């Protein structure tokens, strides 16, 4: 990694549940290790027009607040063409969103696309399930998965790696 700021984008479908939760977790972890000045984190949705401009889902906000993560100021947006050039790492929450990103992404930026859970020791290659149609327990489970994967991602960032630890 060079001296410029590493830019990480988390992506789910509507950008109101999983991806803002992941961005909030990563921002706090980066702050805790004093790496937030070297890393920029954002989130987007593959189908963000559904909720464009809306704050994260109230259940996501509650689950995050209970663990000390802030979703304040976040607003849903759809992924933009320039995101593929601007971000160094684009992490999809599931294989469906990853496939959608691959269809949109210029070939010279495809190497930036990965699954978040590829940084997980417990769930590599798995999907972070969409909690939208479930109750609070689904949001808690998703947050558990995000926290665990974020530890692996943070370790990779601290090592200066932008590639998943998995082949």
Q: How far apart are CA 141 and CA 93, in angstroms?
A: 14
* Catalytic, out of 77, 118, 130, 138: 130
* Catalytic, out of 17, 18, 83, 94: 18
* Catalytic, out of 12, 17, 64, 105: 12
Beta bridge partners of 39: 6
CA distances from 92 to 6, 66, 68, 111 (A): 17, 24, 23, 13
Whether residue 141 lies in the annotated active site: no
Whether residue 18 lies in the annotated active site: yes
Long-range pairs for 100-108: beta carbons < 8 A, 24 or more residues apart: 100/46, 101/11, 101/46, 104/46, 104/79
Whether residue 12 lies in the annotated active site: yes
| Residues taking part in catalysis | 12, 18, 130
């Amino acid at each position: 990694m060079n001296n410029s700021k590493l830019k990480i984008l988390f992506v789910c479908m509507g950008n109101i549940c999983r991806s803002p939760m992941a961005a909030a977790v990563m921002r706090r972890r980066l702050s805790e290790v004093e790496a937030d000045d070297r890393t920029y984190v954002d989130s987007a949705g593959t189908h963000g027009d559904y909720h464009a401009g809306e704050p994260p889902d109230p259940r996501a906000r509650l689950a995050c607040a209970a663990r000390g993560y802030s979703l304040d100021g976040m607003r849903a947006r759809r992924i933009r063409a320039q995101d593929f050039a601007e971000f160094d790492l684009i992490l999809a929450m599931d294989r469906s969103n990853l496939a959608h990103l691959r269809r949109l992404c210029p070939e010279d930026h495809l190497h930036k696309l990965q699954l978040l859970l590829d940084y997980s020791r417990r769930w590599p290659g798995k999907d972070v399930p969409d909690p939208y149609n479930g109750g609070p327990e689904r949001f808690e489970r998703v947050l558990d998965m995000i926290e665990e994967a974020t530890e692996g991602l943070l370790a990779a960032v601290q090592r200066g790696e932008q590639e998943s630890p998995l082949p």
